[in-house]
Amino acid sequence: MGLKAGIVGVTGYVGEELVRILCRHPEIEEIRVASRDFVGEALDRVFPHLRGHVDREIWGMEKLPDLAAWADVVFLALPHGVSAPVAREVLKRGKRVIDLAADFRLPDVKLYEEWYRVPHGAPELLKDAVYGLPELFRSSISAAQLVANPGCYPTSALLALAPLLKHGLVDRSTVIVDSKSGVSGAGRSPSLGCHFPECNENIRAYGVGVHRHTPEISYYAGVLSGGQVDVFFTPHLIPVTRGILSTVYARMERPMDDASLRRIYEEFYAGEAFVQVAVAGEWPETKWVLGTNRCFLGVTSGAERQAVVVSAIDNLVKGAAGQAVQNMNLMFGLPEVTGLTGPGLYP
């Protein structure tokens, strides 16, 4: 097809992962990259593993108009707050935007400002932004000019919850999402909390009940169920580089055995290329999805009344860059799996 793709914010982990995926994507003709850091450097000096694969100079943000004019699609891998005005610039030139920040995920500007504590940079665009979780909201994505790529935790939580909520199987006031994430989810900027000696051989919870992905999970859980859902969300930091395992708990409205619950999941996700329901006796592991756009789900109904769903994703792929490319495929009428096939790295 010969698409031209721009990546803004290329020097973070999500930006780099977009390069990794897009440089093998058969319909991408060329990639150009920009960033606020490392401006003017060659991409393969910042990321030597890309040497011989992608040979680009990193443009500064002042070249944004050129990038937008050139590109067919622009991916924004920027911090929240920074993203929105950049999106406006690109959309103005009639090019499509896939935003990997939080700026367009919540439809309500007040909710956004309450949780993110910054004024929204382009509130007028919110009404046109489409939430890019294809397995749950596929229809609206194809026509979108602006896709808000979901957060990593919400992706893992919503794919786990959707069948329960859509079928009205659970009490909407008792939903708990207990997530365990690798450290790459915190980005590439060094901090004490992500300093190797502090993370290694350590397990910790953080932002218990107050993490910014909470309203995103709750809001789309509500959309799926057709009513308000109370989600309590606890993220944990685990000493792995990649991977999110979410363990989701909800009270079932009526007793159900494991096999019946599993059947509901298998039917719900039948035909989905990127969602696998584990067979009886298996529980998903993040290693099963390493480097892939997959979500692996395991289910049990506990003592018949406690639905427990475990979901495993790679936070940088299905939780970010891979899902963004999946959205791009939909937006450009390509087969959804283009550039996203093949097994992951094991072990």
- 243 to 282, contacts with its own copies by CB under 8 A? 243-245, 247, 249, 251, 273, 276, 278-279, 282
> Cβ 217 to its own copies, closest distance in Å?
14
Give the whole-angstrom CA distance, residue 211 versus residue 213. Answer: 5
230 binds its own copies (CB under 8 A): yes
Q: Alpha-carbon distance 12 to 106, whole Å?
A: 23
Smallest gap from residue 188 Cβ to its own copies (A):
7
Which is closer to its own copies, CB of 83 or CB of 286? 286
Q: How far is the CB of 96 from its own copies (least distance, A)?
A: 25
Contact 311, 296 (CB under 8 A): yes
Least Cβ distance, residue 133 to its own copies (angstroms):
20
**Could you say which residues in the range 143-172 bind its own copies, by CB under 8 A?**
none
Q: Does 342 bind its own copies (CB under 8 A)?
A: yes
- Whether 76 and 64 have beta carbons less than 8 Å apart is answered as no
208 contributes a contact to its own copies by CB under 8 A: yes
When the beta carbons of 60 and 239 are compared against its own copies, the nearer one is: 239
Q: What letter does residue 251 receive in the DSSP assignment?
A: E
Q: Is the dihedral of CA 73, 74, 77, 78 positive or negative?
A: negative
* Sequence-separated (6 or more) residues with CB below 8 Å from residue 125: 84, 87, 88, 91, 104, 146
First vs last C-alpha separation in the chain: 34
- Of 56-64, 87-95, 152-160, 177-185, the segment contacting its own copies by CB under 8 A is 177-185
Least Cα distance to 231 among 286, 298, 153 occurs for 153
Give the type of residue at 218.
S
Answer for which of 26, 139, 201, 333 binds its own copies (CB under 8 A) is 201
Among residues 142 and 306, whose Cβ is nearest to its own copies?
Answer: 306
- Window 315 to 334, contacts with its own copies (CB under 8 A): none
- Rounded to 10°, the helix 13-22/322-331 angle is 50
User: What is the Cα–Cα distance from 330 to 191, expressed in whole angstroms?
Assistant: 36
Among 2, 40, 197, 333, binds its own copies (CB under 8 A): 197
Shortest CA distance to 214 belongs to which of 299, 157, 269, 170? Answer: 157
Under the criterion CB under 8 A, does residue 199 sit at the interface with its own copies?
yes
By CB under 8 A, the residues from 40 to 59 that bind its own copies are: 45, 47-54
Q: Tell which one of 35, 155, 234, 329 touches its own copies (CB under 8 A).
A: 234
Residues labelled as active-site residues:
152
Residue 212 touches its own copies, criterion: CB under 8 A: no
238 contributes a contact to its own copies by CB under 8 A: yes
The binding track of 3-22 with respect to its own copies, each residue x by CB under 8 A or -, is ----------x--x--xx--
Q: What DSSP string runs through 149-176?
A: PPPHHHHHHHHHHHHHHHTT-B-TT-EE
